[in-house]
Amino acid sequence: MRGRSGDRWAALGAVRAGLRPFPPDLEPEYRAARNAARSRYLVPTALLGICCLDLYVLVDLVLAPQVVLLSLLLRLAVVTPAMLAALVVRRWRLRRDPASGVDGPLFAGAAALVVAVLVLIQGTAPGALGGAYFAGSFIVVVFFVTLLRSDVRQAAAGLVAMLAAFGHGQALIGADPVPLQVAALLAVAVAGFFGLVMAGHVETSERARFLAERRERALARERERLIAALATAAVRDELTGLLNRRGLHERLPAPGTPVAVLVVDVDHFKSYNDRFGHLEGDRCLARVAAALEAGSRPGDVVARTGGEEFVVLLHPDPGAPGGRAAQRADARAAAERLHAAVRALALPHPARPDGPGVVTVSVGVALGSWDEAFAAADAAVYAAKHAGRDRVHEAPGAPEAPSAREPHEVTP
C-alpha cells in the first residue's frame, strides 16, 4: 500500500515538473485551490492596472493633446467597464464552479482589448505617440503575463492575443517601415516569452506547494486517525470490543458514589477451551460479550477485565423511590436479564463436568462504593460457583472481602 502511494506521489511530481495537468481526480482540486488563492490578490492587482491604464492619458495630454478626448473616451467608457465586467463575470463563474478555467479566456480578451485600444489611439497621432505606445505594449505584456500570475496556458493565450492585436494595429497604422514593425513585434514577443518563463516557474512552485500541502493534510489526517485508534485500543479489549480494565477505571464515578456492580464469569470455560480450542473459545467470549452489551441499558458500563470475567457497572439513582431496597432489586433484575441473555445464546457446551449443556454464566451482585461493591460482587460470583454455577448471587448487605477463592479459569 505504501509502495503504491509512493509511486503515485512520484508520478505526480513528474507531472508537476513537466507542467502537465494532474490526474483527472486531482486537477479540479488544484484548480479550485489555485482560483481561490488567485482571487485574494487578483482584484486589487487588476484595479491597480486599470488605474494605471487610465492615468496613461497624461502621456497623451503631453505628447498629443489632439487625442486626449478619444483616449479618455476609450479608457473610461470602453476598457475600464470591460475590465470591471470581467471581474464580475469571473466571480460569478467561480461561485458556480470553483475549478473553472474562466481566467484564460477573460485574460486573453482583456489583453487584446487593451492593446487594440492603444493601437487605435496611436493611429490617431502616430508620429507623436509611436515610442510611448510601443513602451506601453511592453507594460501591458508584463502586467497580463507576469503581474497577474497567470498559469502558463492562460499567459500564452493572453500573449498570442496581444501580439495579434499589436501586429494587426501596426500594419493598419503603417507609420513605420515593415522591418521596424517586425522588430517591434519581435521585441514585444521576446518580452512576452520571458514572462512565460517566469509564469512557468510560478506555476511549477504553486503545483509543488499544492502537492506538499495536500500531502501534509493527508498525513495530519492519518496521524489523527492513528492517535484516535491508539486511544481506543488503550481502553478497549481487542477480542470483544468492550472496555478493558483501564477503560473501566476511567469511567468509575467519584470516590464514595454509590454504584451497583455485577461480576460475570463464564462457567467451565477452561473445559470449553480445552475441548474446542482457543479460536472457538475466543468466538464464545465474543458472543457472550455481545449478549452482555445488548442486554445492558444505556449508561451501563460493560467491561472485560480479564480471561472469562466481565464487569457491569450500574449507576443507581439515589433519589429514586424505594431507596436502597429498590436499587438492590434493580441490580438483581439487571443481573437476571444478563444471565438469561447468555443462556439464550444456546452455545453448546458438551464438555461441562456436570454434563452436556450450554454455555452459562455466574453473576455476583453488590451495591456500595466502587471498592466495596467490586470486592463484594467478586466474592458473590465465587459463592455462585460454589453453589453450582449458572445462577445470580447477591452479596450480603454488608459486603465482606472473600476469605477463600476458587482459582480463576483463564484463557491461555
Q: What is the pLDDT along the chain (412 residues), one digit of tens a residue?
A: 444 444 444 444 444 444 567 888 888 888 888 888 888 888 888 888 888 888 878 877 887 788 888 888 988 899 899 989 988 998 999 899 998 888 878 877 887 788 778 777 777 766 656 656 666 667 777 777 777 777 777 777 777 777 776 776 666 555 566 676 677 778 778 777 877 787 778 788 888 888 888 889 999 999 999 988 888 788 899 899 999 999 999 889 888 888 999 999 999 999 999 999 999 999 999 999 999 999 998 889 999 998 999 999 997 665 566 677 888 899 999 999 999 999 999 999 998 888 889 999 999 999 999 999 999 999 999 999 999 999 999 998 633 333 333 333 333 3
Q: How many whole angstroms separate alpha carbon 28 and alpha carbon 104?
A: 15
Q: How many whole angstroms separate alpha carbon 331 and alpha carbon 336?
A: 9
Q: How many whole angstroms separate alpha carbon 328 and alpha carbon 339?
A: 16
Establish how many alpha carbons lie within 13 A of residue 236's alpha carbon, considering only the half-sphere containing its beta carbon.
11
pLDDT of residue 367: 92
For the CA atoms of 206, 209, 215, 218, the dihedral, rounded to the nearest 10 degrees, stands at: -80
pLDDT of residue 71: 84
The helix (H) or strand (E) run that includes residue 46 is helix 27-55
User: How many C-beta atoms surround the C-beta of residue 276 within 10 A?
Assistant: 16
pLDDT of residue 163: 75
Contact 361, 265 (CB under 8 A): yes
pLDDT of residue 168: 64
| DSSP-derived 3-state class of residue 328 | helix
Residue 344: all three cell numbers together:
439464550
Q: How many whole angstroms separate alpha carbon 358 and alpha carbon 332?
A: 22
CATH architecture under which domain 245-394 falls = 2-Layer Sandwich (3.30)
Q: How many whole angstroms separate alpha carbon 90 and alpha carbon 42?
A: 11
Contact 356, 364 (CB under 8 A): no
For residue 379, which of 244, 268, 263 has the smallest C-alpha distance? 263
Q: Is the dihedral of CA 322, 324, 330, 332 positive or negative?
A: negative
pLDDT of residue 405: 36
pLDDT of residue 121: 76
Q: Using alpha carbons only, what angle is made at residue 290 by residues 284 and 296, rounded to the nearest 5 degrees?
A: 135
pLDDT of residue 318: 58
Contact 107, 150 (CB under 8 A): yes
Q: Locate the domains of the chain by residue range.
A: 22-219, 245-394
Q: How many whole angstroms separate alpha carbon 243 and alpha carbon 307?
A: 13
pLDDT of residue 204: 83
